[in-house]
Structure 1
Amino acid sequence: MKQTCLILLLVLNLQIIVCCGPFEYLNDGECCSMCPPGTIVFKHCTRDFVTTCKRCPDGEYIEHPNGLENCLKCKVCDQELGLQAKHVCTYTRNTICGPREGYYCTDSTCQMGRKHKTCPPGEGVKVKGTQFEDTVCEVCPQGTYSNNDSSTQTCEKWTVCKEINKKQVTLGTATTDTVCEEETSHTGKIIAAVIVPVPVLVLVLIIAGAVLFKCNTKKWKPSPSVDNRHGEAEMGQPASQTLLERSVETEDSNKDQTTASSG
């Protein structure tokens, strides 16, 4: 008899436990309908009324159907820990944190971020850092260089001076590039040698020209006869006409003298 009662009690208890459906919850012996994601119970159901729900306040959330009376607090991504919000919290989903730019997560849940390592001068980035992996550096191989701290820059190749029509002055190192300079041809050197004293030559030519001009000015000063002709011309008598008249007068005078001697 005792065994039968125990079995009945177990059956009755089992019936009480499993009587609610997958989207119901048990409250005071009643199977109440759960509230949907983003909401919680405002009033539990009774025999006469169904469950009353309300939405979660700002900064809180509920991701699944529930019979809870309080929402959950949204997660805060602490920037001082190298984190930032990858997905902002909503009523139905919690905040998802990720590493800040230049940081990586130290664990799979990203509870803290750490800054990517920088490669010093003479080293370059072999593998760039990701959200969950740190930067991997390498010493710059022969023929390459890096001259700054960087978590993203790889080693760069030395400049080949011949490829840019220049000559090499200093070969590059792990931290410096090759130094090049412009090629200067023999023709260029000759031209440069000629061009340098040009200002002096120009000055000499200017002085010589001035002296010659002064000498020529003195040499070509007008003669008195020219001045007389010029003066006569100024008085209204052309120089050519005056000479002609003088010639005629001379001939007439000679004729008169000849006639007088004949008589």
Structure 2
Amino acid sequence: MKTYFIIYLLVTLLHFVLCCEDETHYKKNDKCCKKCGPGKRMMMDDNCEDPHCQDCQIGEYQSGYTTNTKCLRQPSCDTNLHFKPQDDKPITTRLNKCVCESGYYCTLDDDCSACREHSVCKPGQRVAKKGSPESDTVCEACKNGTFSTHGSVDTCQEWTKCDNGYDQNTGSLTSDRICLGSPVHRVVTGIIVGVLVLGVIVALVVYFKKSKKKQGWKEVNDEFPNENPNVKGLNIMKHQDEDVERAHQPLRQPEEDVDNSGPVSPTPSNMTENGNVVDQEHGKEHIISTTESNSYPYQ
């Protein structure tokens, strides 16, 4: 009998321990009660063994199992201080921390109370480590033989390598090497190119002059096809002089025809059968014909 009692106590104690797990349960009046899960809060005066839990609202959170009747408030991230929420979507199951926006950072050493702008690497430096919301940008100087002219570059450029025959100066961390002077073969090449260009220009000038001269002789041949070339040239000059003289002469008005003829005496040659005088035409005037009347008396 004693053995059965001990076994009963052990089973009861084990059941009580398993039911009242610290994370998900709590003890109330010697009872093992359930807690509300993450993202929820417990209603007041609720049932111990089967509580009614309500979801936290936007801007609130509950990160674990709880018996609290209120959710915790999410932190307010002030955008004027370059803060923003860590997650853009609303979260009710955990704390949504404030982080610095792009180009700014804050450290845990000062509890991330203020955002500071990332450092900008200067010319002559390169970015060794890019900045993050929790750390600043790390810059380092360019190595010997390299340079950078702009800030915040990832890599430095190597100095220019000069060919044989060039004089060169030493570059710096912020400027490239400059190659001075020019080799002899480049000078010779430049002279040859210049001579060729000049020759082409002279050839074009000569060509256009010959073409213009041929065009002038062609016009002469078209006007005087059967004459000697020397005579053709003289004729062209003669015609040109005549045209010039004609252009300088004043214009002459056309003379009007003057009719100096007087009246015609009647003669047998200029009279009609009826005894009328025949009128002569005067210049370009038009004579209107008239009907002759009979001069014979009625019988």
Q: Which amino acid aligns with 1:114?
A: R
Larger Rg: 2
Deviations 1:30-69 (A, max 9, x none): 764211111111133358x842221111111111111111
| 1:161-180 alignment runs, 5 A limit | 161-162=162-163, 172-179=171-178
Separation (CA, whole Å) in 1 of partners of 2:170 and 2:191: 25
Aligned to 1:3: none
Q: Secondary structure at the match of 2:193?
A: helix
Separation (CA, whole Å) in 1 of partners of 2:102 and 2:166: 42
| 1:105-124 alignment runs, 5 A limit | 105-107=106-108, 110-124=112-126
Separation (CA, whole Å) in 1 of partners of 2:94 and 2:171: 56
Deviations 1:144-197 (A, max 9, x none): 1121222x53332223354xx996776533222345699845234212233136
Q: Which amino acid aligns with 2:67?
A: G
1:198: how far off? 3.3
Aligned to 2:102: 101
Gap runs ≥5 in structure 1: 1-17, 225-263
Q: Secondary structure at the match of 1:90?
A: coil
Separation (CA, whole Å) in 2 of partners of 1:80 and 1:167: 57
CA contact (8 A) 2:39 2:62 kept: yes
Separation (CA, whole Å) in 2 of partners of 1:46 and 1:120: 66
CA contact (8 A) 1:44 1:51 kept: no
Q: Which amino acid aligns with 1:187?
A: T
Identity among equivalent positions (%) equals: 30
CA contact (8 A) 1:44 1:52 kept: no
Change (3 A) 1:82 1:156: farther
Separation (CA, whole Å) in 2 of partners of 1:210 and 1:89: 88
Change (3 A) 1:213 1:148: closer
CA contact (8 A) 2:77 2:98 kept: yes
Normalised by the length of structure 1, the TM-score is 0.59
Aligned to 2:91: 90
Q: CA RMSD in A?
A: 3.9
Gap runs ≥5 in structure 2: 1-16, 229-299
Structure with the higher fraction of residues in helix conformation: 1
Q: Which has the higher contact order (CA 8 A, sep 6+)?
A: 1
